[in-house]
Amino acid sequence: MIVKTEGGVTAAKGFSAAGCAAGIKKPGVDDMAMIVSETPCVLAGTFTTNVVKAAPVIWDRDIVRKGRGSAVVINAGVANACTGQTGMEYCAATAEAASEALKVEPDTVLVASTGVIGRQLPIDKITEGVRVLAGSLSDTAEAAGRAARAIMTTDTVPKQAAVSVTFSDGTTAFVGGMAKGSGMIHPNMCTMLCFITTDACISGGLLQEALSSVVPDTFNMVSVDGDTSTNDTCLVLANGLAENRAITEKDSDYELFREALLQVSTSLARMMAKDGEGATCLFECIVKGAASKEDAKVLARSVVSSNLTKAMIAGHDANFGRVLCALGYSGVQFDPSAVSLWLESKAGSVPVYERGTPLSFDEDYATAVLSEDEVRCIADMGAGDAWAAAWGCDLTYDYVRINADYRS
């Protein structure tokens, strides 16, 4: 059984968190966070496929390979990307500071950064921040919330999700996470920054397998602006304190755990799309009737990634030809005369195109349907049974404003 609950990274037993203002951003604004487990965790991670990988991505990948983690230190404001050897040294210095403050091994400390690319971290502020964070850890929902706020950059809301999952032996574990991401969001392997904790007892191999199977259908189906970041990182820490019978094979408990992870990841992915830079709404595309799952995914992601469909959503304008155009250049082969389209939201549903022919529809009604804060485009490709969902947002003046001014 899986039940949605409140909270984020401290929902699972044995995890505490903190946020603080370390002075990287404006004075007094929280810009660092920490997650700590009271016992060592097995780890899973997925990272950006960008050839230009930020220093923390390289650092964390090594730690995930080694397999043991006890803490994560995160900063916003500076991404520690394109920073050469100095960037790697600053990852080590951050981990060393956490090691001293928390009495853990430095090679079990994960680090993550988000912010401006091509600038060095203010390392003295970072190491001082680590000491402050270590002194203010708490396992409350408030602490998780403060940590989720501290990792925001252009995000307008913190993003947390958690579920409880009851296994076959009657024990209950929690899976909870936080994420940030608003611009430079077009994840490929993973989203900007996402941290999920669980007290489930599961082997490191199966934890990675579960994460790797969930990411392609969740975070990798989000696009805000088509730009795959240098820093994309998704980490899962599992400390086993739920004391369920250890998950060491792909049995029903593994499936339950995977489903719990899928639900948390889907919630965080949708929150990220809805909070896309400048966005006023979540733009979901569901492609069904596709010849294969992979086709459905490529088609759905092409629609939510198009600047023109996104501007159409911003204008509440049922200019559905742009959806057909985006399906057409996705790279997937299909028969245009078999395609049908609907636009919908909680205000209603408007069929606009049926098997290759435009339909007439009430423009005012269509505008009303597209004026909700969550709108959906459904494409039936008429080619098979496969389906997929992708999430994006509208393209507004504010996206341009935010990104023309980002560093100032």
Residues recognised as catalytic: 191
Which residues, other chains included, contact 125 with Cβ-Cβ below 8 Å and sequence gap of 6+? 22, 23, 24
Neighbours of 154 (CB within 10 A): 22
Q: How far is the CB of 271 from a copy of itself (least distance, A)?
A: 21
Quick note: the x/- pattern for a copy of itself over 371-400, rule CB under 8 A, is ------------------------xxx-xx
Q: How far is the CB of 315 from a copy of itself (least distance, A)?
A: 3
- Counting Cβ atoms within 10 Å, is residue 13 exposed (0-12), middle (13-18) or buried (19+)? buried
Among 127, 153, 230, 263, binds a copy of itself (CB under 8 A): 230
By CB under 8 A, residue 119 contacts a copy of itself: yes
Closest-CA residue to 74 (of 56, 51, 52): 56
By CB under 8 A, residue 288 contacts a copy of itself: no
Closest-CA residue to 39 (of 70, 8, 73): 70
Closest-CA residue to 55 (of 31, 32, 98, 89): 89
Among 26, 65, 103, 407, binds a copy of itself (CB under 8 A): 407
The strands making up 374-380's β-sheet, listed across from edge to edge, are 357-358, 348-354, 340-345, 374-380, 282-290, 386-393
CA-atom Rg of the chain in angstroms = 22
Comparison of 80 and 197: residue with beta carbon closer to a copy of itself = 80
Among 97, 117, 210, 350, binds a copy of itself (CB under 8 A): 117
Q: How far is the CB of 306 from a copy of itself (least distance, A)?
A: 5
- CB under 8 A: which stretch of 136-144, 211-219, 225-233, 385-393 binds a copy of itself? 225-233
Q: How far is the CB of 321 from a copy of itself (least distance, A)?
A: 2
d(CA 367, CA 137) in angstroms, rounded, equals: 48
Comparison of 29 and 116: residue with beta carbon closer to a copy of itself = 116
d(CA 53, CA 50) in angstroms, rounded, equals: 6
Q: Footprint of a copy of itself on this chain (CB under 8 A)?
A: 49-53, 79, 81-84, 116-120, 183-184, 186, 188, 225-230, 305-308, 311-312, 314-315, 317, 319-322, 324-330, 332-334, 336-337, 352-353, 356-358, 395-397, 399-408
